[in-house]
Structure 1
Amino acid sequence: MVRWGWFRQAAGRLRRGWVVVAEGTLAATVSWLLASWLLGHSRPFFAPAAALIVLGQARGHRTRRALEVLFGVAAGVFVADVLVRALGPGRSWTVFVVILITIVLAVAFGAGSVTVEQAAVSALYVVVVSPPTESLVPFRFVDALIGGAVALVASQLVGARHPLVPLAAEFRRTFGDLARLLGEVADALDAHDEAAALATLDRARGMDAAVGRLRAGVRAAGEALTLRVRRHRSISRLRSVDASIGQIDSVVRNVRVLARAGVNLTRLPTPAPNGLGAAIRSMADAVHAAGEALAADLDGREDAADGHAARAETAALEAVRGAGRLFTPGGTLPLAMIVGHLRTTAIDLLRGIGADDDATLGRVDEALGVPAV
């Protein structure tokens, strides 16, 4: 029974990770074939090695990593070739000196960890496996160039046709999770359930990772767009969404603080005022609509994006208006915090979908009942 369970889990992991398997296998094999058959290199070790190293990096970092691999190979091979000719191949003393000097030079020039690692590995390969000849230096560098280029192409084949689709899905997922959290806060307040509020707060604390995934998705989409000939409009949409991530980060933090205030409110002997849960659910609707607006913008559906943005603004202002009616002189501090963070959430949310800063602030404060200055 346990064995079958393990096989089912393994099959599930393979279904989710088939892209990694396909990318690595094809990129390494194609790199080897290009270097050996097309260019006639007898042992093109660095072609598949460079391909696998580049693919091992997170999407969005692979172009930079490919360049680091190339610089690392070039530096390592150059240092090793010079020193091996002077000290002789295959000796322990030679290995020590070559690795030491290679790493010292790489660090001194400010190389990243991947460049340092690749320079050391390349140097070690020259010393131990394949001592230098007059023609080996360019071959190894060209092999690394082939491997890095093949890896970049292979890593983008899945999303090259629609490079913004995965990012749009990530926006929908993130905003959907935020909306559900707000709904759970509202449910906990309506039920005066401290345990449920604590569980929601715990989940809210994990939302910071979602912002990181959005940033990584933007980098990956930008990398995928390098393969598109007609990419001007896509890049424009990507930049627009990228500019909103700072506001989205603020929305995530506001929701977390709001969830903490919800916990404190459930600990009071008196229940939350009637209507507070409805106000928070209106903000959940606003968050969901804002996510759909950003995703539709990435999809190039401008009319749909405008419609979702309008619904987000309507729901956000309704949330602020409903919460503002509940806060009266003598209200509790947790209630004041919830009202205040509903206000800041509305402001950050509407700015995140492109609303004018000054106009947004005025509309939100008007809905809250704050006199205009």
Structure 2
Amino acid sequence: MIRWSAFRAAAGRLRHGWRPVVEATLAATVAWLLAADLVGDPQPFFAPAAALIVLGQARGQRIRRAVEVVLGVAAGVLVADLVVQALGRTTGTVFTVILITVALAVAVGATGVSLVQAAVSALYLVAIPPVHDTLVPFRFVDALVGGVVAIVVSHLVGARRPLAPLVGEVRQTFDQLADLLTEVADALDARDAPAALAALERARGMDAAVDRLRDGVRAAGEALRLHVRRRRHIGRLRSVDGAIRQIDYVVRNVRVLARAGVTLSRQPAPPPPALGGTLRGLADAVRAAGAALAADLDGDTRAADRHAGEAERVTLEAVRAAGRLFTPGQTLPLAMIVGQVRATAIDLLRGVGTDDDAAVLTRVDEALGLAVP
């Protein structure tokens, strides 16, 4: 029986992930046509293969990977040519070619793609002789064509808004963090230990979101460097790159908070009724901080300042609420949650850059009710 929900899910994934499909199809086709018609290679296999290999790398690493692919092909072709001329095409030739190629690649420090590409290139040359004897190094030229085409296509697909994927990642990461805090709040309100444990499992997976943000910064930097007229926007990336460190701290704080929430949900005494509202207020602060960073990336300074101000206001309100919760006789898990609300607030405000570190610490501790010298 056909499940329409599966089709809808597939359509949704395709709608959000259309970019790799377009890039791969266009780059492989153009690379094949250029190698076949312009270069004149009767077997232009390496051109689309190199294009797909480069596109298969994380965005932000493609220029370096393209160079590695070309150098790997050059090394593999050179070794294979010399060995084939000396030994002919035999089983021993395959053994010798792979041994020498991989050994040389490791000796010069090649790893990953460049090492594999050198070995595959050499093996292909041994297994499939060229159609015509020629002095033109078609396979090397094919790899060069494929790498260049991959970079150009990757750039053109995102040329209009090179920062858009990173903006989307920022929004998604902060929304996930806010949703996570809301889940913890709901679990504590309901004293639902399984729900609190599920929130903790989600919190443990948030490190991947931070890694995607770092990849997004590298990809956006690569796109901007290739786009001459948009290089002035690189300054925006520097501010976000610095903020990612604070986002990483926020993720860790929320994970510890979620772990304390699991413990608190299992206590015989119910948590304070206002705790859920405090965590939801912190979730609102997280969303406002995400909106500030996204607006900064979009170049909307006025909106970025407005959201940053909102993030500061809501954050300090959540800290004040947390300070009122911690009264004498409260449990250790509650103390841990209050402590992580404070830590999260500090890192959020540092991330949106509302003030210097000393001023942030002072305002947060004053809101919490701590004596500030």
TM-score, structure 1 length as denominator? 0.94
1:274-353 alignment, distance < 5 Å: 274-353=273-352
Aligned-residue RMSD, C-alpha: 1.9
In 2, distance between residues paired with 1:274 and 1:40? 75
The letter for the 2-side match of 1:324 is G
Deviation readout 1:280-324 (Å, 9 max, x if unpaired)? 121111100000000000000011101101111111111111111
The letter for the 1-side match of 2:222 is E
Indicate if the aligned counterparts of 2:224 and 2:231 stay in contact, CA closer than 8 A.
no
1:105-120 alignment, distance < 5 Å: 105-120=104-119
1:243-262 alignment, distance < 5 Å: 243-262=242-261
The letter for the 2-side match of 1:204 is A
Q: Which moved more, 1:297-306 or 1:49-58?
A: 49-58
In 2, distance between residues paired with 1:189 and 1:66? 51
Alignment partner of 1:84 is 2:84: yes
- Which residue is equivalent to 1:72? 72
Tell me the CA shift for residue 255 of structure 1.
0.7
Q: Which moved more, 1:241-250 or 1:221-230?
A: 221-230
Q: Give the 3 Å change call, closer, same or farther, for CA 369–15 of structure 1 in structure 2.
A: closer
Deviation readout 1:87-119 (Å, 9 max, x if unpaired)? 22x211111111110011101111011111110
Could you list the structure 1 runs, at least 4 aligned residues long, displaced by more than 4 angstroms after superposition: 3-17, 131-134
Q: Give the 3 Å change call, closer, same or farther, for CA 7–168 of structure 1 in structure 2.
A: closer
Give the secondary structure class of the aligned counterpart of 1:222. Answer: helix
- Which residue is equivalent to 1:372? 372
Unaligned runs of 5+ in 2: none
- Which residue is equivalent to 1:192? 191
- Which residue is equivalent to 1:29? 29
- Which residue is equivalent to 1:99? 98
Unaligned runs of 5+ in 1: none
Alignment partner of 1:182 is 2:215: no
In 2, distance between residues paired with 1:290 and 1:209? 19
- Which residue is equivalent to 1:154? 153
In 2, distance between residues paired with 1:10 and 1:283? 34
Tell me the CA shift for residue 122 of structure 1.
1.0
Indicate if the aligned counterparts of 1:55 and 1:62 stay in contact, CA closer than 8 A.
yes
Tell me the CA shift for residue 206 of structure 1.
1.8
Q: Which moved more, 1:327-336 or 1:4-13?
A: 4-13
- Identity fraction in percent: 69
Q: Which moved more, 1:27-36 or 1:313-322?
A: 27-36
In 2, distance between residues paired with 1:8 and 1:202? 27
Q: Give the 3 Å change call, closer, same or farther, for CA 10–356 of structure 1 in structure 2.
A: closer
Tell me the CA shift for residue 188 of structure 1.
2.0
TM-score, structure 2 length as denominator? 0.94
- Which residue is equivalent to 1:169? 168
The letter for the 1-side match of 2:49 is A
Indicate if the aligned counterparts of 1:296 and 1:305 stay in contact, CA closer than 8 A.
yes
Give the secondary structure class of the aligned counterpart of 1:43. Answer: coil
Give the secondary structure class of the aligned counterpart of 2:229. Answer: coil
Give the secondary structure class of the aligned counterpart of 1:157. Answer: helix
